[in-house]
Amino acid sequence: MIFILLSICCSVTVAVLLKLAKRYQISIIQAVTVNYFVALILCFLFFKPEVSAINVDSPWPVYISLAILLPSIFLFLAASIKNLGIVKTDIAQRLSLFIPILAAYFIFKEDFNNLKIIGLAIGFPAIVLTFIRKSDQGNNNRRWLYPIMVFVGFGVIDVLFKQIALYKAAPYTTSLFLVFCLSFILSLFIVTAMAITRKTKLQLVNVACGAILGIFNFGNILFYMKAHKALAQNPSTVFAAMNLGVIIVGTLIGVLVFKERLTKLNYAGIILALVAIIFIKLSQDAV
C-alpha cells in the first residue's frame, strides 16, 4: 500500500504546484516543457527503455496523438485548478475513467455487469453536482470548459495508453519514454516560438518549478506502476485506492489549505463520485 500512498501524494502535489503557479507568476507552458524533459530523463534512468524496439511499424498515430494531448491537457488542468480549484479538478480527472470504460463497451465490445452500469449511472450526476457554482451565470459558464476538457482529455489519453499497452512489439515503458520525448519536443517548439515573438519571457523560476513538477509527475506514474506490480493479483484494489485517495486527499487540501468553497450540492457530488468508483471497483472484482 506504500506505493499507492506515494502515488496519491505525487498526484495531489502536482495539483498543488499548479494551484500555486499563479501566486508565483509561473509560466505554465515553460514549466510543462521542463516537466517533460525531467520526466524523460527519469524515465530513461528508471525504466531503461529499449529504443531499438521502436520502428516504422510502431503505433505512431497513437504516439503523436499523446504527444499533442499530454502538454495540452496540462494547460487545461492548470486553468481548471486556477478557476475552479483542486477539489473539482481532481474529481474531473478521476471520473475521466468513465471514458475508457465506455470505450471498452462501445468500441471493444466488452460486457458490462450491473455493478458497472450502476457505477456509471451514479458517476455522471456526480460530475454535474460537483461542478455547480452559484455564480455560474453569463460568461462564467465558460469556467465549465476547463474541467470538461480535463474530463474528456484524460479519458482519451487513458484510451490511447491502453492502445499502447496492447502493442507487444515494444515494452510499455519504452513507448512511454518515446511519448515523453515527443511531448518535450512539441512543448519546446511552442516555448521557443513564444520567446521569439516575445509572447513569453524565459525565467529561471519556471525551470525550477518545471523540474519539481516533472519529479512528482513521474513519481505518480512510477509508484502507480509499482503498486500494480506489487498487487498484481488485485489490480482493482490499486485502481480504487488511487482514485478514492486522490479525491479525498485533494478535497481535504483544497478545503482546509486553500479555503476552496463548496456548496452542499458539491459535497453531494463528491460523495456520489466516491460511491461510483466503489461500484466500478466491485464490478471489476465480480469479473
pLDDT in the model for residue 140: 56
* Residue for grid cell 503523436: 64
Q: What whole-number distance in Å separates Cα of residue 18 and Cα of residue 74?
A: 9
| C-alpha 36, offset from chain centre | 14
Q: What is the pTM of this model?
A: 0.90
Q: Give every residue of the chain whose pLDDT is below 70, as ranges.
A: 133-142, 287
pLDDT in the model for residue 141: 59
Q: Which of 124, 97, 140, 125 is nearest to 236 (CA)?
A: 97
Q: Do the Cβ atoms of 87 and 255 come closer than 8 Å?
A: yes
Enumerate the H helices of 27-144 as residue ranges.
28-47, 60-84, 86-94, 98-106, 114-131
Q: Which of 127, 74, 62 is nearest to 99 (CA)?
A: 127
pLDDT in the model for residue 135: 58
Cα Rg for the chain, rounded, in angstroms? 19
pLDDT in the model for residue 287: 62
For 154-188, give one letter per residue: b (16+ CB within 10 A) or e.
Answer: bbbbbbbbebbeebeebebbbbbbbbbbbbbebbb
Q: How do residues 13-57 score in pLDDT, each as one tens digit? A: 999 999 999 888 899 999 999 999 999 999 999 999 999 999 999
pLDDT in the model for residue 193: 93
* Residue for grid cell 451565470: 137
Angle of helix 172-196 versus helix 28-47 axis, rounded to 10? 150
For 247-259, give one letter per residue: b (16+ CB within 10 A) or e.
Answer: bebbbebbbeeee
Q: What whole-number distance in Å separates Cα of residue 134 and Cα of residue 264?
A: 11
Q: C-alpha cell of 129?
A: 453536482
pLDDT in the model for residue 10: 97
